[in-house]
Amino acid sequence: MAHAASEVTTLPRLLQQNVRERGVRPAIREKDRGIWQTHTWREYHDHVRVFSLGLAALGFRRGEKLSVIGDNRPRLYWAQLAAQALGGIAVPVYQDSIARELQYVWSHAEASIIVAEDQEQVDKIISLRDRLPGLRHVIYDDARGLVKYRFDWLKSFEEVEELGRKHEAQHPGAFEAEVEQGQPDDVAMICYTSGTTGNPKGAMLTHANVVATARTFMAAEDVRATDEWLCYLPMAWVGDSLYSLVLSLAAGFCCNCPESPETVQRDLRELGPTTVLAPPRIWENMLTSVQVRAGDATPLKRWVFARFRRTAEEAEILRSDGKPVPFGLRLMCALGEFFVYGPVRDQLGLRRARWAYTGGAPLGPDTFRFFRSIGVNLKQVYGSTESSALISIQPDAEANPTSAGRPCPGIEVKIADRGEVLIRSRGIFKGYYKAEEATREVVDDEGWFHTGDAGFLDPRGHLVIIDRAKDVGAMVDGTPFAPQFIENKLKFSPYIREAVAFGNEQPLVAAMIAIDLNTVGNWAERRGIPYTSYMDLSQKPEVRELIREEIAKVNATLPDSTRIRRFLLLTKDLEADDAEMTRTRKVRRRFVAEKYASVIDAFYSGGEEVELSTLITYEDGRQATIQSRVRIADVEAGALSHA
């Protein structure tokens, strides 16, 4: 690296640096009309410059907020940088949010300009416009369906760029002067965290925060300017901002925007990115698709796949235990690489990936082992919005499914009372926007950020996360109770999509379970069990029996007092639209406990059945109530007396 790692700067200045150092290299690609369209760093910079001046012409001033909403599109990234170049703040929001959530975030952030991807998003803004007094302009990327919209506050991206060109003719050098004024300690972005309680909070990250974090990342991993990265994670998630904007600018690598959310899998394969970050759900889906396709193959191919998969896993288990792999096994693995592992990685688009990350939630050990065994360098990474998305990474040789990795260089980790993980680094955020009280609750006087996660450092120095600290309680007999720890074990079962465990200040552990419609549906079809809907399927006695066995398997790995004694199968999946989960799919525990109070009651009063009246919210915001009687089952007979 030509520049000192400690150099503090702003994102727009990093952009200028990329133009100087690698102006003709690809900076961002977008798949459009089925073809990857490339923009070089010079073009990237030109778009940011003229759009930025267009914003200036529209009266966008230092400290104002510009929000972006939509799927990953180059223009939405450019818009964020353009705002930052003027000393403004970018506020990316979740594209699938419903109107009520958007209204809260936009009015809280006082967004004065929103850049929207398409008509769908513009329509949402129109429906909220009366309630957003601070909003002055809306700019859209894709004009499709918007030709008949005539509002003086609605403009296309091209129109604003045109304004920018005119502005530049009148004020030459204006862009460079604005960038020059920017300070590293200016707030670069506000990331709204969906929070498991109450309204979302806006975490303010400064240029210094995110640039320092990117440098930390580059010190921990071998990031290269020739890397290729697929931008498909939600833009509002801090991980995407860090990778697709900050890291790309800091390292100079190329970002690639998929054609549409539905084509991500195919685009991944075409592109073969050199590094991949995905939440556990995506890794599990990939494994399922491999298994399904292997199952459909001819008997010979099926046998070859099964044979070499076993070989790979045997070798992987030896490797992860630090034992030598015998010569015969190594030879088989080499054959497997040729016949199975290489082609499978190629099909998944992971052939060129030097490393792959999973984070956000624990990944099942079986899934983890599968990917590592076929030669994908899958590792766990841990971070949070408030820490600019990065705290720890597993080094290549120390990957395993249980830890969250080794804290990155320059990041201090301390375990406080009750096991809460505390972090101190240059990436720790400036505070929550307009919520000093909340900020003081999580950042103490010495600058330690309280993650709210309970965990410990293992003998190798790896951080291990158990649960949210505030969720860790105790059962009546004093046994510590960590609900998420149990839920994660349940969710490792392919048949269980979501689980909520209860047991704090209770005599026994009980769980509400949402089955996975795909896998359980598939299982039912293979057995000739007819069903009509999720609700119907979830209440089949055979399904209850299936889940009971899955729970029994989990119980075998738990200490006796925290074994799950009773369970109930929910008639619908837990949904973010129903406020039961956050947009990043974390259970909002307190809300769920209130909503399902009757179920908890029945768990501990020995009830056999419970009346469930669930309010569900459709994607368009309409609501409906579903009434049903649901059976509560014991995992083993006589659970209550047992306790």
Q: How far apart are CB 388 and other proteins at their closest, in Å?
A: 33
Query: 3-class DSSP state for residue 635?
Result: coil
Residue 200 beta carbon to other proteins: minimum distance, rounded to whole angstroms? 28
Which residues in 145-179 are b (16+ Cβ under 10 Å) and which e?
ebeeeeeeebbebeebbebbeebbeeeeebbeebb
Q: Which one, 55 or 282, has the nearer CB to other proteins?
A: 282
Backbone angles phi, psi at 181, to 5 degrees: -70, -25
Rounded to a whole number of angstroms, the minimum distance from the CB of residue 628 to other proteins is 23
Phi, psi dihedral angles at 555 (to 5 degrees): -55, -35
Residue type, 321: D
Instruction: Based on the shown chain and the rule CB under 8 A, indicate whether residue 259 belongs to the binding site for other proteins.
Output: yes
Please, what is the minimum distance in Å from the beta carbon of residue 268 to other proteins?
13
By beta-carbon proximity to other proteins, the closer residue of 104 and 149 is 149
145 touches other proteins by CB under 8 A: yes
Residue nearer to other proteins on the CB measure, 148 or 526:
148
Return d(Cα 405, Cα 400) in angstroms, integer.
9
- How far apart CA 510 and CA 565 sit, in angstroms, is 6
Nearer to other proteins, 34 or 559 (CB): 34
Rounded least distance, CB 618 to other proteins, Å: 10
Q: How many residues bind other proteins (CB under 8 A)?
A: 12
d(CA 200, CA 262): 28
Q: First vs last Cα of the chain: how many Å apart?
A: 62
Sheet holding 26-32, edge to edge: 35-40, 26-32, 254-257, 228-230
Quote the CA–CA distance of 552 and 564 in Å, as a whole number. 8
Which region, judged by CB under 8 A, interacts with other proteins, from 78-86, 255-263, 280-288, 458-466?
Answer: 255-263
Given the complex with other proteins, which of 34 and 638 has the nearer CB atom?
Answer: 34
Task: Provide the 3-class DSSP secondary structure of residue 446.
Answer: coil
Q: How far is the CB of 33 from other proteins (least distance, A)?
A: 4
Question: Site for other proteins (CB under 8 A): which residue of 2, 4, 6, 34?
Answer: 34
Entry field: residues in the chain: 643
144 part of the interface to other proteins, by CB under 8 A: yes
Stretch that binds other proteins, among 171-179, 239-247, 261-269, 446-454 (CB under 8 A): 261-269
**Could you say whether residue 263 binds other proteins (CB under 8 A)?**
yes
Q: Which stretch binds other proteins (CB under 8 A): 92-100, 144-152, 358-366, 369-377?
A: 144-152
Beta bridge partners of 358: 278, 380
Taking the complex as a whole, the smallest distance from the CB of residue 263 to other proteins amounts, in Å, to 5
Q: Kindly state whether residue 148 participates in binding other proteins, applying the rule CB under 8 A.
A: yes
Among 216-224, 257-265, 424-432, 530-538, which window interacts with other proteins (CB under 8 A)?
257-265
Nearer to other proteins, 325 or 616 (CB): 616
Q: Which stretch binds other proteins (CB under 8 A): 186-194, 259-267, 507-515, 557-565?
A: 259-267
Task: Show the site string, 100-139: x = touches other proteins by CB under 8 A, - = not.
Answer: ----------------------------------------
Angle formed by the axes of helices 174-181 and 157-170, nearest 10°: 100
Region of 175-183, 254-262, 268-276, 353-361 interacting with other proteins (CB under 8 A): 254-262
For residues 430 and 389, give the distance between their C-alpha atoms in angstroms, rounded to a whole number: 14
Q: Is 617 in the site for other proteins (CB under 8 A)?
A: no
Q: Does 37 bind other proteins (CB under 8 A)?
A: no
* DSSP string for residues in 74-126: HHHHHHHHHHHHTT-EEEEE-TT--HHHHHHHHHHHTEEEEEESSHHHHHHHH
Do 454 and 445 meet the contact criterion of CB atoms below 8 Å apart? no
Asked if 33 touches other proteins (CB under 8 A), the answer is: yes
CB of residue 36 to other proteins, shortest distance in Å: 13
150 binds other proteins (CB under 8 A): no
- Judged by CB under 8 A, the chain residues 199 through 228 that form the site for other proteins are none
Written as six digits, the tokens of 465 are: 């996360």
Nearer to other proteins, 70 or 362 (CB): 70
Which of these ranges, 221-229, 262-270, 329-337, 572-580, lies near other proteins under the rule CB under 8 A?
262-270
Strand order in the sheet with 406-407: 275-278, 355-358, 378-382, 392-393, 406-407
532 near other proteins, rule: CB under 8 A: no
Residue-wise DSSP of 271-299: H--SEEEE-HHHHHHHHHHHHHHHHHS-H
Q: Which of 326, 390, 320 is nearest to 359 (CA)?
A: 390
Helical segments of 492-588, H only:
517-526, 534-538, 541-555
Q: Does 624 bind other proteins (CB under 8 A)?
A: no
Considering only residues 4, 147, 397, 637, which one is a binding residue for other proteins as defined by CB under 8 A? 147
CA 118 to CA 249: how far, in whole Å?
A: 26
Residues between 161 and 180 that touch other proteins (CB under 8 A): none
Does residue 289 interact with other proteins by CB under 8 A? no
Interface region with other proteins, contact rule CB under 8 A, candidates 30-38, 322-330, 385-393, 395-403: 30-38
Beta strands across the sheet bearing 496-502? 496-502, 509-515, 564-569, 623-634, 609-617
Q: Which is nearer to other proteins, 111 or 271 (CB)?
A: 271
Indicate the SS3 state at residue 643: coil
Give the C-alpha separation, 164 to 52, whole Å: 7
Least gap, CB of 229 to other proteins (angstroms): 20
- Tell me how far CA of residue 258 lies from CA of 31, 72, 441, in angstroms: 6, 8, 39
Give the residue with the Cβ less far from other proteins, 124 or 309.
124
Return the structure tokens found at 589.
């525990």
Q: Which of 127, 183, 260, 623 binds other proteins (CB under 8 A)?
A: 260
Range in contact with other proteins (rule: CB under 8 A) among 142-150, 244-252, 355-363, 487-495: 142-150
Q: Which positions lie near other proteins, rule CB under 8 A?
A: 32-34, 144-145, 147-148, 259-260, 262-263, 266
